[in-house]
Amino acid sequence: MSHDFSNKYPNKPVPAAQQDMAIDSPKRRHALKTLVQGAATVLTGVALTEQITTSAQAQAMGMMGGMMGGMPGQNQSASISSGLFTHPMPIPPQLKGEADSSGVRTYALNVMAGQHSELVPGLKTATWGYNGAILGPTIRVPQGKPVRFDISNGLDQSTTVHWHGAHVPGHADGGPHNLIAAGKQTSVSFSLNQPAATLWYHPHPDGRTGPQVYAGLAGFLLVDDGLDARLGMPHTYGVDDFPVVIQDRRITETGQLDYMDSMMDIMGMKGDRFLVNGVEQPFVAVPGQWIRLRLLNGSNARIYNLCFADERPFHVVASDAGLLEQPVKRTELVLAPAERAEIMVDLNDMQGKKLVLRSDSAKVIPGLNRMPMATDGYDKGRFDLLEFRVGAPTAKTGHLPERMASIPTLKADAPIRKFTLQDMNMGKMRRMMMGGGLQSDNKSTGPGGMSMGIGGRHLFSINDQYMNPKVINERVKLGSTEIWHVANDGMMAHPFHIHGISFQVLSRDGAQPPAYERGWKDVVLVHSGQTVQLIARFDQPAGDDHPFMYHCHILEHEDNGMMGQFTVS
């Protein structure tokens, strides 16, 4: 759903059809009702049984996509000529912890509610955050040192804190079995014996991850080993080394976060406001030299194709879980939900000028899916995200190294495991639409009365299995090295994430992955119809009481069945 904000922000044109479909308008309500009735009719005719061929699915989805021409953001291309760039990009404060007498570094993390943020200029929005109103501090953890996190939950509902990408045991992972009850506290201890990396942390309660992240709960977790400084890379936080989390949100005219109010949102929650570090299309002052951007796609479902407006090249220096062996020159980079990438860009020739980071989505995103419903107007357009205002260089400047990390070659010592990613089948979609669509049992328990959407439904699956907290789907031997064969039988692209490990991408459809994917990762985007092979060593234990997860990182898919559990012992 898009909203009419043309009067408040005249530089953001709103198509005429979109103006007629403003929130709560009679036309919008009629369109939603017509969509449900019409789509159910189409699906009834096309999907007489649960077993539907891919071609039949494609035809049915195409028909549904055609019917959605009147739905804002669906089949029309987005029209955004330029960003706002009126507010500075916030730099999250660093949380480095304090060492106690035994040498354990301790961090205090408070999950907070009851505060407001100015996500969009001129509007106050109720949000949740860690140690503040929205998002969280950038936590810095020294490699190999013992740390403890004292976590208090100030929400009126349970949550968890998942250390995404961290090599920790299952009992410390922060997955669905690590619930912290409302108003309660817990402590978690571990050491991160892994390469320096840009990781992150976020909630992970089964069935409620999507709305809790959407409400504002996310933050960076940086593992430090000093290699970047020794290589002469930019590493001064907030000066030439910037955390950049990109998210999209829908926000009502009164400032409320708008979550899963449309039937289409079950395919993945997407918004029409683009936030960087919690502010819509901000600007940031940077020095005229090499700078480093730690990019995180913190969106629930949207995939970005990142590039600079002047098409200048940049260098990818790190993937999800560590530095690459050598920089990879690019002019664009696809980043799926939960993926991270560190890039370096040379601004020596840009003093006194401006540069814009944008997503040229139309060039790539529609081709990742075979389902028209999976792409909206912004996926078919181009939109600005962040403006860099380039000033004078600092006294000490970093440079681009020729070589960086040394990445070992892994060899499997166990049988290949196979995973098949599956979309919502047509029968389930038909029953959902005919049964009332997105009715929620906890409609208004988010910040400011935000809907919590739906969760816990059996809609998306892996290996024909839905998430069941009482079922262990796979058992892995501790210390083993395995190849996981991940095939996407669905019509949507799915970002596949594995807890507790970092993996290497061996192949995509039998071919070598692109150079920027040949480092350590923990999320891989598997395109519709594609097969990816991954290899990983499993060195962290996880028992039946606190198993690891593997799942799609489109949060509305994860919340509705597309997740499995595995032990390592």
Which tens digits make up the pLDDT trace of 448-462?
A: 999 999 899 999 999
Q: What is the mean pLDDT of residues 405-433?
A: 87
Rounded to two decimals, what is the model's pTM?
A: 0.88
Upper half-sphere CA count for residue 410 (Cβ side, 13 Å): 24
* Tens of pLDDT, residues 90-102: 999 999 999 988 9
CA 417, CA 410: separation in Å to the nearest integer?
A: 16
Strand order across the beta sheet in which 383-391 lies? 283-287, 383-391, 354-359, 304-308, 332-335
User: How would residue 247 be classed by pLDDT, with cut points 50, 70 and 90?
Assistant: very high
User: How would residue 263 be classed by pLDDT, with cut points 50, 70 and 90?
Assistant: confident
Q: Is residue 63 scored above 60 in pLDDT? A: no
Q: Which two tokens stand for residue 338?
A: 């939960």
Q: Is residue 2 scored above 90 in pLDDT? A: no
With 0-12 / 13-18 / 19 or more C-beta atoms within 10 angstroms meaning exposed / middle / buried, residue 230 is: exposed
37-46, 299-308, 375-384, 536-545: range with lowest mean pLDDT: 37-46
Q: What is the mean pLDDT of residues 490-519?
A: 97
Q: Where are the domains of the chain?
A: 416-568
Ramachandran assignment for 28, one of left (phi > 0), alpha (psi -120 to 50 degrees), beta (any other): alpha
Q: Is residue 15 scored above 50 in pLDDT? A: no
Q: What is the mean pLDDT of residues 415-437?
A: 78
User: How would residue 438 be classed by pLDDT, with cut points 50, 70 and 90?
Assistant: low
Comparing CA positions, the residue from 539, 536, 497 lying closest to residue 520 is 536
> Quick one: DSSP state of residue 349?
T
* Tens of pLDDT, residues 187-238: 999 999 999 999 999 999 999 999 999 999 999 999 999 999 999 999 999 9
Angle at 526 between CA 525 and CA 529, to 5 degrees: 155
CA 527, CA 369: separation in Å to the nearest integer?
A: 7
Q: What mean pLDDT value characterizes the chain?
A: 87
CA 206, CA 564: separation in Å to the nearest integer?
A: 11
Residue listed under structure tokens 């035809």: 59
- Could you give the percent of the chain with pLDDT greater than 70? 83
Q: Is residue 70 scored above 60 in pLDDT? A: no
* Tens of pLDDT, residues 319-351: 999 999 999 999 999 999 999 999 999 999 999
| CATH level 3 topology of 416-568 | Immunoglobulin-like (2.60.40)
The total number of residues shown for the chain amounts to: 569
Q: What was the pLDDT predicted at 44?
A: 34
User: How would residue 126 be classed by pLDDT, with cut points 50, 70 and 90?
Assistant: very high
Q: Which two tokens stand for residue 286?
A: 């940077």
CA 272, CA 264: separation in Å to the nearest integer?
A: 14
Greater confidence, 16 or 87?
87
